[in-house]
Structure 1
Amino acid sequence: MTAPTANRSVALFDYFVADPHTLSAGRGKQTAYGAIHFALLEALCDEFDFTVFAVDFDNPRPDRINFVRVPGVVLKPLAVLFVTYHLGALFVYLREIVRRRKRFDVVQCVESNFSLPTVSHAQFNHKAFLRKGWPIARPSGIRRPLRRVDYQLRRTVEPLVYRKASRVVTSSNGLLEDIVQSYPWVRDKTEIIRNAIDIESHSAPDDFDRMTVRGPIGIKPDDTVLTFTALGDFELKGMLLIFEALKRVARADLHFVSVGGPPPLVDAFTERARAIGVGNQVHLMGMQPDVRPFLW
């Protein structure tokens, strides 16, 4: 009789991995990939032995998923979290290796948030951003030098992590091109895995009334709406170009609705829309527990 094959062991590094339902109730924190990681853990925890290294984690299957808390400091500026998580994760990872008495088969991190990955899931290229994007994206006040420090730290660690990883995964051709241009030696170990969309869950219910969302912000039933979602870096992602296009088109029935972004950024771009002369057509909703109603 053949002995059963042991599951492959996977170490997953992310700052926060929260249950989306918990977030909808207004509790918990999440990273850009946190929801993806939560879904992955739920779906595959019976096939793989996962250990999650995070500051906070809503464990959907404590019987199958091990959680190792990382002592990261959750404070602004973000550079504080990056440094404390990076150092704390390395310490608890090595401690876990000693406890287990064997290495993990796969060690996956997000970007450069861990020093010893086999897989780095890249969602940004800090070297390219500092070269091309920073002159365009100009945070105001004290945020500017603090953000610069954060980006510079990540840009310094980025090539070290990519050299250690045996695979660098991105979600788009454009990001892959940026990474290869910045680090040509990484080309042979890159792979594109595009972000999946659950079409069924993102389809509007038959009885959904879009005016329950649009009416309160001054949009009429026959108006045309452009939608936009982003966690930040609005200027780099072209929001000001959209404002200028709205002004040039000069159609009062054309509206722009954006979901995402921290309050200071939302306030700053709301003011910029007013200054350009399209304030009545621009609706920046900030972070929302559910993006879908604004898309419907």
Structure 2
Amino acid sequence: MNKLILISLLIVVQACAQRTYLGELEDLGKFPSKLKEVSGLQVTEDGKIWVIEDSGNKDQIYRVNNDGKILESLKVDHAKNKDWEDLTMDDDGNLYIGDFGNNGNGREDLVIYKVSNDEMDKKKPNADKIEFNYPQQKDFPPQKDSLYFDTEGFFHLNDHLYIFTKNRTRPYSGNTLIYRVPDKEGEYEAEFLGSLFLCADQDHCSVTSADISPNGNTIALLSYGFVFLLTDFSVPDLTKASIKIIDLKTDTQVESICFANNNTLLIADEENRFGGRKLYELKLD
């Protein structure tokens, strides 16, 4: 057994092909039982924390405090939670909900809901639809070696929403596909920007959330147990970015990430047999 463990570790190290740093998660608090499946979170400019849950849960956004306690909930009008997977916000305070979860790669109704800043004070804020498709996907679902079109991470930058797909290929390729769509209501064919190799470990290298720092210098991609920090990139081509890997030292199902400021990340996990349902802070060097 020890020999098998050693071989597995060597495979992971070789697949990542670069140094992995250890991160120290600080436990901020635990979400209430009604928030068992937090799939996205976002911090506003004035420090408010908003979270969502994924498929099978309500069409609501929740404002929580630093301890994970619910302060308010808003029912999003003209929006349906088919599989909400991430949150992001633009500089004007407009909130975007990524309803693009697609485990089986069979969906043809991918949408991002835009809740304008003016609506955020209402109990039932109205949402506009940004509908889109991936031009590379021809079959629903595609063959196992082409299962690239599940999505759980995106962020806003310069009037566009940058989307990172979650790799479910068999055999596993380690790539995330990068797309972008305009941040305005409408129907779009997503613009393909290229693919990014993260690492070849299926259990740790599929993107579950994404965000960009307020100064625009760092992109954080979350996976199960790892954070990939992208720097030295140019827009819109992100494929030549430098990548730093941080091992979070956790076996919980980490699903959400956002920047609280340029040097601090907030991370949330869903509840599984290892624990979770918590809000964490990760300080960056």
Q: Which has the higher helix share?
A: 1
Q: TM-score, length-normalised on structure 2?
A: 0.26
Larger-Rg structure: 1
Question: With CA pairs under 8 Å and 6+ residues apart, which has the higher RCO, 1 or 2?
Answer: 2
Q: TM-score, length-normalised on structure 1?
A: 0.25
Q: Which has the higher strand share?
A: 2
